[in-house]
Structures are given as C-alpha cells and as structure tokens.
Structure 1
Amino acid sequence: MALCLICGLFTLRFSTFINAVLSLTLLVCRGYSQEAPTKQIVALLGDDVVLPCSLERPVDVSDLQLEWARTDLIPGFIYVWEKNKENVGMKQPSYVGRTSLSSDKLNHGDVSLTLSKVQLSDEGLYRCFIPQLGQRSYVHLIVGSASTPVIKVMSNDSSRVVLQCESAGWYPEPELLWLDGEGNLLSAGPTETLRGPDDLYTVSSRVTVEKRHSNSITCRVQQRNTNQSRETHKHVPGSAVTKQPSATFIIVIVCLLYVGAVIAIVWNFILSKKPDTKVNETELKTMKQKRSRAPADDTETKEMKEEPPSEQLEDDTSAVDMSEVIKEGEENQETETQSTAQPSFTSSEN
C-alpha cells in the first residue's frame, strides 16, 4: 500500500515536471513554431505592397529556406530563398521581376515580401513558410482601385440645376452617394454601373438640386471592402429670384387670359352684328325728305314734259327779258343817287 502511494506521488511529480518542461519549451520556441493568424492587406492597383511575415524573436534566417506561395496556384511559389539566394526554378511567370526580399531584414528574422506593380490578378491568399522552424503565416491581399469623381452641369435654369457625377477605374464595384452641404443624403437617380474589359468599374448618377438657397453639393464614391473613398464638391448658387411662381398659379393666369380673349372675341362679334342707330336715324331723315320732295319734283317734271318746246322757249325768253329789266332799274337808281349827291358838293365849295 505504501509502495503504491510512493509510486503515485512519483508519477504526479513526474507529470508536473513534464508539463513544466513543455510549457517552458513552448515559451522559448514560441516565435518559431506557432502559426500566426491571417492578416488582411489592401493594395491599390499599380502600387507596391509589402506582405508581412516575421519571427517574434529577431533571429538570423538568411541561411534558412524561405518560401512564399499562393495557396490557389499550382505550383504556387512566387518566391523561394535558399542557399542565400533566390531560386527562380518554380516561380510563377506572372510574378517574375515583381517580388523581392530584403537581405538586411533577413538577418533580424523579417521575411516580409515586397510585391511591385500590383495587378488585379494578384488578389488572393499568400503563405509565408519557414520549413526548418515550422512557422507559417498567411496574408490575404485585397486589390483595389479608386479615382476622383467628376461633376458636370447637365442643365441649369432659374429654379433648378441637374448635376451628373461620374467616376471610372474602380475595383471592386463601389457605391455612389450625393450629399448636401450638411452631409445629408440627397434623393438621386439610380446609379449606372459599367464594367470594362480591364475589370474596372465606372459609376455615374444624376441629381436635381433646387436653387432655394446657396448650397454645396458633394458626390462621394466609396468602396467599403478596400476602405477607399473619393469625393468632389460643387457649389450651387441660390436663385436670383426670391420666389418662383408655382405651376398652379401659372395655369390659373393662363386660363384667365384665355377666358378674357374668348369674351373679347364674342363681344366684338356681337357689336359687329348690331345696327348703328345714328346711321339709321340719318338715313330715315334723308329718306323722308326725299319722299316729301318727290311729288313736287314729279309734278314739275310732268309739266315740263307736257309743255311743248315752243312754250318752254317763250318762258326762257321772258326770263331773260325780266333779268334785263331788273338790270336797267338798278342802273337808273345809281344815276339818281349820283345826281343827288352833286349839288351838295357844289354848295360846300361856295
């Protein structure tokens, strides 16, 4: 029984010792054997990017074999370092001349890979592996592309302005937003998205802005996965007219003008059909005078027609004789007047 207790105590102490040794070994070798969590790196199209990979302890790894590979490619090697130089035997052709390591950093346990002139096809999961140490780490590379949007004025009148925002060369597909001067979203038309042969996206949208007061309009294009955002501002001046008439007011004015024109036309038509009383009264008087003179004239005409030509001639002769008699009488009167005035003139001389 005592022997069993001694064996049990020995076993417990031995297991505790083993656990302590293992824990100490893990602590010492922590930087060499653990698999680091996956990191996410965003790179813009055409830029250079560094894929991080390093030991927690600064140990010289320049004499070790180092491997960088794409997990979705076979063979997936994009950089292999062995015997203090790069081995290009199994390197992916699309990465030739675009990957490199820093020999100075290798002396301090930094195996980070520099990838130059990033392409859209470079997006994917990368693995950094040191076979002698058993260390692996992963980097997820996200490739993005962005460009500054451009705002154009499509139409401009006294009360409103139509703006169009367009931005090309985006990846992945972005979203387009319109904002007012206070940062509030504006109601705009649907966003048109086009994808070109280079896999880059072009987005555009239009918005109508009322000229109620001076305002600054912002077009923002953003991509959440790559954390990229670009925006452009456009100042829209307020309307010079303080208040614009409403459409209802304009319709009422037009209707009133139309009704007034119709009434004027009808009134002129009625007046043109109504006889002129003054003209009618004058015509009636003239007709009455003509009718009153008509019997006498008719009688004289009839008598002249009934008289023979000889009697008409005698009447004309008698009329001539009478005029001569009147003329002679007037001359005698003038002679008598002169004779009467002459003696008075003589007496005055005496």
Structure 2
Amino acid sequence: MFPINLLSIIAVTGFLLLMFTCKGEAQQTDSPQSVTVMVGEDVVLPCFLKPPKDASQMTVEWGRPDLKPRFVFVNLDGEEYSADQNEAFRGRSSMIPENLKHGDVSLKLSDVRISDSGRYRCYFPREKKEYFTELVVGSASSPGASLSGLDVSSSGVMLDCSAAGWYPEPEMFWLDGDGNIMSAGAAEKSTDPDGVYTVSSRVSLSKKSRHRRHQDVDQGCDERESLLSTLNKVKTELENQKHQLAEKLREIESERKKNKEELQSVETKTTDSQSSDDTESLLKEKEKLLQTQWKLDEIKKNIERQLLNIEKALEPIEIQITEK
C-alpha cells in the first residue's frame, strides 16, 4: 500500500506541474495586451500615450466596461477623481505621478482579487484614444491527502485528496507508486462567491488492484524500491525544471541590466537635448525601453514565483528519499 504522505507529495507535484503550464507572460503587441498575476499580488497594467507627451495635466480614464460604475481610476486634469469610482477598487488603484510627464499612464492594482480578472480600458476622452489590457488572475494552494476509511467491497482502503483556493478551474489526478495515473471517480468541484474553486477526489486501493499493478514485476522486488524510484523521478523532473528556469532567469537579468543602461542613456540625452524634434524622437525611444523594462520585470517575477514553488515541492520529496 502506498504511504499517505507519498500520495500527498505526488498530488502536490501534479498541481504544481499543472500550475506551471497555466502561467503566462505579458505580451507587448499592438493588439490588447494580456497580463497574468496571482491573487494577493500587485500588478501594473501598461498604457503609454502615443506619441509620448506630458500627461500630468490630462484626463485619463481607467475602466472595466462590464462593471457598474465602470471607473477603476480617473485622473481628471492632473487630480485623482473618485466620485464615480467603483467601490471594489477604492484604495487599491493608482497611477505613478512621476511617470505621467513621460506619457506613461499605467494603472497599478494592489492586493489583486479573483474578481479583478477582466478587460480594462485606458481611455483619453479629449484625444479620443483608447488602449485595452486583459488581466488574468490565478490562485493556487497545496492539496492534502488523507485516509477516509475502509472499502469493504474490495477489502481495501479509500483515500481522499482535496484543495481549496484555486482559479482557474483545476484538474486533479492520482499517481500510483510507478508514476501511472490511477482510475478514480469524478472530482467534486464547488466555487465560492468570488468564483474560487475547491476540488476533491477519492480513490479506492484494493488488494486486487494492487496485485494487477505489480503482476509483471518480479515478486522479489521490494515495494519500497518502487516508491523510491517514483520519488526520484519526480525529484529529477522538478530539478530539471528548476535548472531551466534558473538559466532563463540569468538571461532575463542580463537583458534587464542592458535595457536599464540604455534607458539611463536616453534619459540623459533627453535632458540635454536642445531640439524639439530630437526630444520627441528620444521620448519615443524611451517609451519602447520602458515597455521592454516592464515586460522583463513581469517575466522575472513569474520565474521567481515558479522557482519558489519548485523549492517548496522538493523539500518534502527529499525528506522522503532520505527516510527511505
């Protein structure tokens, strides 16, 4: 029979691998941009006036067309206007004042919630210009496995696995000691008022099923070695992912450093420029560099988040291997 703590580890790993495939990166294109963030984090939704010019005294509306009232944050002639602001964003939305003079009117959302997911519009009413950003919010937690009782009909045992606080809708699966997906009943799923999922699943381990899974294995093979092999496979997979992410992080850090140096150079040239044409050209170049810097920062945060999750998954696995 498989130890409950091992099944829990495998379930955790399955959830982590699923979470990695669901994550995305911010896309900087002419079409609506997409930004991904986890619940509870802060996020910046990019918006840059084109061509770039001082927006500190302009009127800028950030809104969600699906909300009533639709206003998330309004900068009215250089002052925050909160009379018609949606209550869900009061105290959580803002713009960065020092960036406005460069045409950067990006929106910062703090303590992000599942309900923040949606399509945001950055709108300049006097200029009749608008830009859209899609915000995707995710949530995850570690599942837990436990012994739920005896299965009298099969002379076996029943195991439960459950996890709460997931978004978007997750899939749950069980792995046996050989790393194969086990047959289990349909997972039960429910949502809270914010649309966050709680999912649970039950699997029955019978003597017959255990014999069938191992009938082609040498009877003299110790089951403990099979479990240890599974743990090592999972550990190797996670370590490979960790190595790949670490390499990517080093590349991103190098790009961020280079982009930052270019940005500082352009800012110096802009300050020293005596020609309006040169200044406009430099501001356009600065806008591109700022967008690149923002994208690289988002990618960096995403990689660091994944590395942290891998470390959390590796810790109990290494403990199990040591005990074996």
TM-score (norm 1): 0.47
Match of 1:203 among 199, 203, 210: 199
Displacement, 1:118?
A: 2.0
SS in 1 for 2:98: helix
Give 1:198 deviation, angstroms. 5.0
Aligned equivalent of 1:166 = 162
Query: Which has the larger share of strand?
Result: 1
Contact 2:114–2:194 (Cα < 8 Å) also in 1: no
Structure 2 residue identity aligned to 1:65: T
Say whether the 8 Å CA contact 2:44–2:107 is kept in structure 1. Answer: yes
For structure 1, the residue ranges without an aligned partner over 5 or more in a row are: 1-34, 219-227, 238-350
Q: 1:76 aligns with which of 70, 91, 104?
A: 70
Residue 59 of structure 1 is matched in structure 2 by: 53
Q: How far, CA to CA, are the matches of 1:180 and 1:191 in structure 2? A: 17
Counterpart in the other structure of 1:97: 91
The answer to whether the 8 A contact 1:48-1:118 is kept is yes
1:25-64 equivalences in 2 (<5 Å): 36-55=30-49, 57-64=51-58
Aligned residue number for residue 190 of structure 2: 194
- The residue that corresponds to 1:119 in the other structure is 113
Q: Quick one: distance in 1 between partners of 2:30 and 2:126?
A: 16
Deviation at 1:117, TM superposition (A): 1.9
Q: Which moved more, 1:56-65 or 1:113-122?
A: 56-65
SS of residue paired to 2:123: strand
Pairs within 5 Å for 1:187-266: 187-197=183-193, 199-208=195-204, 210=210, 212=214, 213=223, 214-215=226-227, 216=230
RMSD: 3.7
User: Out of 81, 85, 103, which is 1:109 matched to?
Assistant: 103
1:176 aligns to 2:176 (yes or no): no
Going from structure 1 to structure 2, the CA distance change for 1:105 and 1:184 (only over 3 Å counts) comes to farther
Name the SS of the counterpart of 2:88 in structure 1: helix
Query: Which string of whole-angstrom CA distances, capped at 9 and with x for unpartnered residues, describes residues 12-35 of structure 1?
Result: xxxxxxxxxxxxxxxxxxxxxxx9
Instruction: Please list the CA deviations of residues 266-310 of structure 1 after superposition, one character each: whole Å capped at 9, or x if unmatched.
Output: xxxxxxxxxxxxxxxxxxxxxxxxxxxxxxxxxxxxxxxxxxxxx
Give the conservation status (yes or no) of the 8 Å contact 1:45–1:119: yes
1:132 & 1:197 partners in 2: Cα distance? Answer: 38
Q: Does structure 2 conserve the Cα–Cα contact (< 8 Å) formed by 1:36 and 1:136?
A: no
Find the counterpart in structure 2 of residue 245 from structure 1.
none
* Percent of matched pairs sharing the same residue: 41
Deviation string 1:199-221 (CA, Å, 9 cap, x unpaired) is 43211112345385332488xxx
- Asked whether the 8 Å contact 1:36–1:137 carries over to 2, the reply is no
Instruction: State the alpha-carbon separation in 2 of the partners of residues 136 and 86 from structure 1.
Output: 19
Q: Distance in 1 between matches of 2:98 and 2:174?
A: 49
Greater C-alpha Rg: 1
Which one has more relative contact order, counting CA pairs under 8 Å at least 6 apart?
2
How far apart are the structure 2 equivalents of 1:146 and 1:118? 14
Residue 185 in 1 paired to residue 173 in 2? Answer: no
**TM-score, normalization by structure 2:** 0.50
- Equivalent AA in structure 2 for residue 190 of structure 1: A
Moved more, 192-201 or 99-108: 192-201
Alpha-carbon offset, residue 58 of structure 1: 4.3
User: Which residue in the other structure is 1:136 paired with?
Assistant: 130
**Paired residue secondary structure (1:121):** helix
Deviations 1:131-162 (A, max 9, x none): 344331111223332111112244699x9765
